[in-house]
Chain A
Amino acid sequence: MKRGNLNNFSTSGSSSSSPSSMDKGKMWECEMEEPGIDDELFGVLGYKVKSSDMAEVAHKIQQIEVAMGNAAIDGYSQFPAAMDDTFHYNPSDLSSWLEGMLSGLNPLPEFDSSFDSFLESATGGLAVDDLDFGSDLVAIPGKAVFANIQFHQPSPENRNQHQPPSKKAKTSPSMGDFISLVESSPAPRSILIDSQENGIRLVHTLMACAEAVQQENFKLAEALVKNVGFLAVSQAGAMRKVATYFAEALARRIYRLYPVNHHPQDLAFTDMLQMHFYETCPYLKFAHFTANQAILEAFAGKKHVHVIDFSMKQGMQWPALLQALALRQGGPPTFRLTGIGPPSPEDTDYLQEVGFRLAQFAKAINVQFEYRGFVANSLADLDSSLLDIREDETIAVNSIFELHQLLANPGAIDKVLRIIREMKPDILTVVEQEANHNSNFFLDRFTEALHYYSTLFDSLETCDGGGGADEAISRKNKMISEVYLGQQILNVVACEGVDRVERHESLTQWRNRFNSAGFEPVHLGSNVYKQAIMLLAVFDGDGYSVDENDGCLMLGWQARPLIATSAWTMSDGYGERWNRRKYVQRRHAPMSES
């Protein structure tokens, strides 16, 4: 019976195994990373770094992201690491180079002018605008990412010129104008010359840079991305943060420093980030409430229910559903939960831990509970026959921000939709970002993402932060949420191929997929809509909008929809239990033969 099941918990005490965490016994082989390819790439670029170091490097880059976000906040740094005065500058050692950048990102007063001259000397006195991409790789990364710090120090040639950047051609800047802007203007001495103008110019510069990247004109792109840095610091709040992330993403793309994010530690890190995001603003909560409402309604009157969660993470979605089921008229059903997630970092087994916690909770509220965790690198590796679907169960499949990742692998989404159909769910709840960040045309993707994440960051500014009375916790939550979103930005803009997993698509696109794959929509109903409005009215600020879109619900900020919840069932009536029973019997026959 146990066909390699992991993490089996049940409160009924029936078929439980003791949690044998050491027996990882993965069901499916991990994709093996191609050894050494990263090493080669970096070797070519002159970096001595091993791909095994990348996790640490990634972590440090994340620190930079946060620190850059803080650079203009006076004396405000929450990252204790690497903020020492010693400056290491050995360009062939990527890791310590990053350390150096972090140390250099101290708040303004501590900025050492000698640093800049050190930099100059290290690069042989190359001026900002005179760098030939590809020739002096050593110097480029330092300057590129330091763009907003150099801002405070005029470059040597222009130290004596004080004129503010020229204000020509704001509305339709030509490439030439930008280049000359970069070449001639000194770093302005005052920060806030004309914030709004700079804001407009900032967006234009970003777009111009993206266009340059699209056209593979990397020299121009590089120059532009530095300029973004200058302009970004003159902005406040969301605009600055968004610009900084997009600039970094462009820089990575230009310098081929692609972020790598698929180690278990990275995924666990992202999960942690997501938890803070959950606390800070209403998006994930909305996703959970709306999906749960649809599931609760689908479970009405049913005695045995089974939820298969593709987005298990920390299981934040389920306590509320369990509680509602526990207190419903007629008493709770028996509840099975199958949680699916990626492998945990060494020495941890989060799937098991989550299951255990939920089992304890269920016991406390008197709900008969069974749990299984399945580890899978990709949903496409699932085998529905191993999920032990029982005949009399009402099945809900739940996916929050997971399906779009499958689009990185050709054929994967279709396979997964087939697998879902094999489970014969009574309801499938899907929440996805409402945007098209999957265009093959880079510039389109960039533009879409810029608008989307600008809106999202805007909403973060006014967020309560989820810290209750504790200001510091709220601030921290917000910062971490920004890092969380920043990771997505990096992925959308700087990654390609299988690494680019943040392939968001719009509701319309998803609808087409589901319809073609044999699903039909389940209208979410006015109850879900009203609940959503009511819950947003409590605590969450002004500016959020809930829209009903042909049976689906969308949550947006300032009338721009940002996430969409939809519910589906099988379109050929197989969702009906009695139909399914027949199908299941038929299905069992071939299995026993093999």
Chain B
Amino acid sequence: MEQLLVHCAAAIESNDATLSQQILWVLNNIAAADGDSNQRLTWGFLRALITRATKTGNTKLLTAVAHLHSNNNLPIIHNHRFSIIELASFVDLTPWHRFGFTAANAALIEAVEGFPVVHIVDISLTHCMQIPTLIDAIATRMKMLPVIKVTVAGTVEELPPFPDFTYDELGTKLVNFAMSKNLILEFRTVPCSCSDGFSALIEQLQLPQDPGEALVINCHMMLHYIPEETINSCSLRDMFLKTIRTLNPTIVMLIDEDADFTSINLVNRLISAYNYLWIPYDTMETFLPNGNKSREWYNADIYWKIENVVSHEGRQRVERAETKSKWVQRMRNVGYRGVSFSEEAIGEVKHMLDEHAPVWGLKKDENEQHLVLTWKGHNVVFATAWVPAA
């Protein structure tokens, strides 16, 4: 089926109407939105390819296709908007995010021990879902309880999972939760945008800080939304990392997906995406029984990614993940030094993984500097910790 999708993409790119239509016809008959994980994966890509192909068409036909949607053949993909509670439990279902949370929390707690104020800049896809566990960890494990300041990147761009709450509501809840643990938490949101490398956020951070503050930059699955192209030997991603470095952070956590969606060539991108995004579909079998509402939410969010990678171009195409090696290279080039995860940290991650299906695994690279979450042996998410090199 991958072959067919690849040929179809190639045919669409070369404007070969006959071949595209033939393959689309075949795919339409073998893919199914509600079949096994393979069928659903194919269906997602098929749907994205159709969307891409019809983009070159005109509005009349697009309405025809939309009409198609409403007739249930291609049901409208509705991305659920999560309430805080829903999101919290949703995110907890798999190690996909928990892995990054656990590793990051463990590493940063060790790094900020002794500082009276800990300032966490949370650039996270999960709308601060890491913070409750962090608060908990701080409360239980740190000898000296610091004042916690949380600065959240409130991006203009809407990325799944989509929230059904405001960051103000979120902030209030977090402050209250911290209070319940006898911690003081200050919470603020800085509106910014991925498309310019979070420059608004950085500007805020460049304002004079309290010298006794531990600055923690927690990047969880967000950096790959910064445009990665290098123009005039200047890359927004590198700029971002460089500027952060000048802030002299105590520790920088970089957690992201280990995949390459950056190719300009559609076919290559499709192959990369197909060979990575089969994983979330596959994992669904283990934690979401059929019929569960969350399945649809989960499907829809995966599909959002597929559609973005396959049928969008230019500024709209935001899903530009890079591999772990690429990110590591960037960090080193810009002047960071990797920090190994401690035994305790690794132990915590393992402990967390035990709560999930045994097919999830943990890999350690480079003297425990890189932790990688695996599914059936394939790399899924990597977690790394960095400090500015001397």
Binding site for B on A (CB under 8 A): 278-279, 285, 289, 292-293, 296, 319-320, 323-324, 327-329, 464, 466, 468-469, 526-527, 530-531, 533-542
9 pairs of residues in contact across A and B, judged by CB atoms under 8 Å: A289-B21, A320-B26, A328-B30, A468-B14, A537-B57, A537-B64, A538-B20, A538-B53, A539-B15
Q: Across the two chains, which residue of chain A brings its CB closest to B14?
A: A468
Is B37 interfacial (CB-CB < 8 Å)? no
Is B73 interfacial (CB-CB < 8 Å)? yes
CA distance A540 to B73 in the complex (A): 20
Question: Is the Cβ of B71 less than 8 Å from the Cβ of A534?
Answer: no
Choice from A278, A279, A530, A541 contacting B58 with Cβ under 8 Å:
A541
Q: A289-B25, A328-B29, A530-B68 are in contact. Are A323 and B57 (CB under 8 A)?
A: no
Query: Taking the nearest CB of chain B, how far is it from the CB of A270, in angstroms?
Result: 19
Question: Is the Cβ of A327 less than 8 Å from the Cβ of B54?
Answer: no
Question: Is the Cβ of B30 less than 8 Å from the Cβ of A542?
Answer: no
Which residues on the B side are within 8 Å of A466 (C-beta)? 17-18
Which residues on the A side are within 8 Å of B68 (C-beta)? 530, 533-534
Is B329 interfacial (CB-CB < 8 Å)? no
Question: Is the Cβ of A526 less than 8 Å from the Cβ of B50?
Answer: no
Is B61 interfacial (CB-CB < 8 Å)? yes
Which residues on the B side are within 8 Å of A526 (C-beta)? 71, 73
Which residues on the B side are within 8 Å of A285 (C-beta)? 18, 21
Is B204 interfacial (CB-CB < 8 Å)? no
Which residues on the A side are within 8 Å of B15 (C-beta)? 464, 468-469, 539
Q: Across the two chains, which residue of chain A brings its CB closest to B60?
A: A542
Question: Is the Cβ of A324 less than 8 Å from the Cβ of B26?
Answer: yes
CA distance A327 to B64 in the complex (A): 28
Question: Is the Cβ of A538 less than 8 Å from the Cβ of B1?
Answer: no
The 7 closest A-B pairs by CB, nearest first: A537-B61, A539-B17, A468-B15, A538-B53, A530-B73, A327-B30, A320-B22
Question: Is the Cβ of B61 less than 8 Å from the Cβ of A279?
Answer: no
Question: Is the Cβ of B64 less than 8 Å from the Cβ of A464?
Answer: no
Known: A464-B15, A526-B73, A539-B57. 12 other contacts (CB 8 A): A292-B25, A319-B22, A323-B26, A324-B25, A329-B30, A527-B73, A530-B68, A534-B73, A535-B24, A536-B61, A538-B17, A540-B17
Query: Taking the nearest CB of chain B, how far is it from the CB of A115, in angstroms?
Result: 43
Q: A324-B30, A535-B21 are in contact. Are A542 and B61 (CB under 8 A)?
A: yes
Query: Taking the nearest CB of chain B, how far is it from the CB of A524, in angstroms?
Result: 14
Question: Is the Cβ of B17 less than 8 Å from the Cβ of A323?
Answer: no
Query: Taking the nearest CB of chain B, how far is it from the CB of A530, in angstroms?
Result: 4
CA distance A66 to B1 in the complex (A): 43
Question: Is the Cβ of A539 less than 8 Å from the Cβ of B14?
Answer: no
CA distance A530 to B14 in the complex (A): 25
Which residues on the B side are within 8 Å of A327 (C-beta)? 1, 4, 26, 30
Choice from B29, B30, B57 contacting A538 with Cβ under 8 Å:
B57
Proximity bits, B28-72, A CB within 8 Å = 1, else 0: 111000010000000000000010011011101110110110010
Binding site for A on B (CB under 8 A): 1, 4, 12, 14-18, 20-26, 28-30, 35, 50, 53-54, 56-58, 60-62, 64-65, 67-68, 71, 73-74
Choice from B14, B18, B30, B64 contacting A533 with Cβ under 8 Å:
B64
A319, A324, A329, A538 — which one has the most chain B CB atoms within 10 A of its CB? A538
CA distance A542 to B54 in the complex (A): 12
CA distance A466 to B11 in the complex (A): 12
Question: Is the Cβ of B28 less than 8 Å from the Cβ of A534?
Answer: yes
Query: Taking the nearest CB of chain B, how far is it from the CB of A396, in angstroms?
Result: 16
Query: Taking the nearest CB of chain B, how far is it from the CB of A36, in angstroms?
Result: 45
Q: A323-B26, A530-B68, A530-B73 are in contact. Are A538 and B4 (CB under 8 A)?
A: no
CA distance A575 to B43 in the complex (A): 34
Query: Taking the nearest CB of chain A, how far is it from the CB of B1, in angstroms?
Result: 7
Which residues on the A side are within 8 Å of B35 (C-beta)? 329
Q: Across the two chains, which residue of chain B brings its CB closest to A279?
A: B18
Q: Across the two chains, which residue of chain A brings its CB closest to B55?
A: A538
Which residues on the A side are within 8 Å of B64 (C-beta)? 533, 536-537
Which residues on the A side are within 8 Å of B54 (C-beta)? 537-538
Which residues on the B side are within 8 Å of A279 (C-beta)? 17-18
Question: Is the Cβ of A278 less than 8 Å from the Cβ of B18?
Answer: yes
CA distance A312 to B251 in the complex (A): 70
Question: Is the Cβ of B21 less than 8 Å from the Cβ of A530?
Answer: no
Which residues on the B side are within 8 Å of A323 (C-beta)? 4, 23, 26
CA distance A542 to B28 in the complex (A): 22
Query: Taking the nearest CB of chain A, how far is it from the CB of B54, in angstroms?
Result: 5
Which residues on the B side are within 8 Å of A527 (C-beta)? 73
Q: Across the two chains, which residue of chain B brings its CB closest to A286?
A: B21
A535, A537, A542 — which one has the most chain B CB atoms within 10 A of its CB? A537
CA distance A526 to B73 in the complex (A): 9
Which residues on the A side are within 8 Å of B67 (C-beta)? 533
A296, A323, A526 — which one has the most chain B CB atoms within 10 A of its CB? A323
A278, A327, A533, A534 — which one has the most chain B CB atoms within 10 A of its CB? A534
Which residues on the A side are within 8 Å of B1 (C-beta)? 327
CA distance A538 to B16 in the complex (A): 11
CA distance A289 to B22 in the complex (A): 8
Question: Is the Cβ of A539 less than 8 Å from the Cβ of B4?
Answer: no
Query: Taking the nearest CB of chain A, how far is it from the CB of B262, in angstroms?
Result: 25
Question: Is the Cβ of B20 less than 8 Å from the Cβ of A539?
Answer: yes
CA distance A319 to B15 in the complex (A): 20
Which residues on the B side are within 8 Å of A292 (C-beta)? 25
CA distance A538 to B46 in the complex (A): 13
Query: Taking the nearest CB of chain A, how far is it from the CB of B385, in angstroms?
Result: 45
Query: Taking the nearest CB of chain A, how far is it from the CB of B103, in angstroms?
Result: 40
Choice from A278, A319, A539 contacting B53 with Cβ under 8 Å:
A539
Q: A466-B17, A468-B15 are in contact. Are A535 and B25 (CB under 8 A)?
A: yes
Which residues on the A side are within 8 Å of B16 (C-beta)? 468
Question: Is the Cβ of A542 less than 8 Å from the Cβ of B14?
Answer: no
Query: Taking the nearest CB of chain B, how far is it from the CB of A335, in angstroms?
Result: 15
Which residues on the B side are within 8 Å of A535 (C-beta)? 21, 24-25
CA distance A533 to B24 in the complex (A): 12
Q: Across the two chains, which residue of chain B brings its CB closest to A320?
A: B22
Which residues on the B side are within 8 Å of A541 (C-beta)? 57-58
Q: Across the two chains, which residue of chain B brings its CB closest to A536?
A: B61
CA distance A320 to B58 in the complex (A): 27
CA distance A324 to B4 in the complex (A): 11
CA distance A501 to B17 in the complex (A): 31
CA distance A469 to B68 in the complex (A): 29
CA distance A540 to B57 in the complex (A): 8
Q: A533-B64, A538-B50 are in contact. Are A324 and B17 (CB under 8 A)?
A: no
Query: Taking the nearest CB of chain B, how far is it from the CB of A250, in angstroms?
Result: 35
Which residues on the B side are within 8 Å of A533 (C-beta)? 64-65, 67-68
Which residues on the A side are within 8 Å of B25 (C-beta)? 289, 292-293, 320, 324, 531, 535
Q: Across the two chains, which residue of chain B brings its CB closest to A292?
A: B25
Choice from A296, A328, A534 contacting B24 with Cβ under 8 Å:
A534
Query: Taking the nearest CB of chain A, how far is it from the CB of B74, in angstroms?
Result: 8
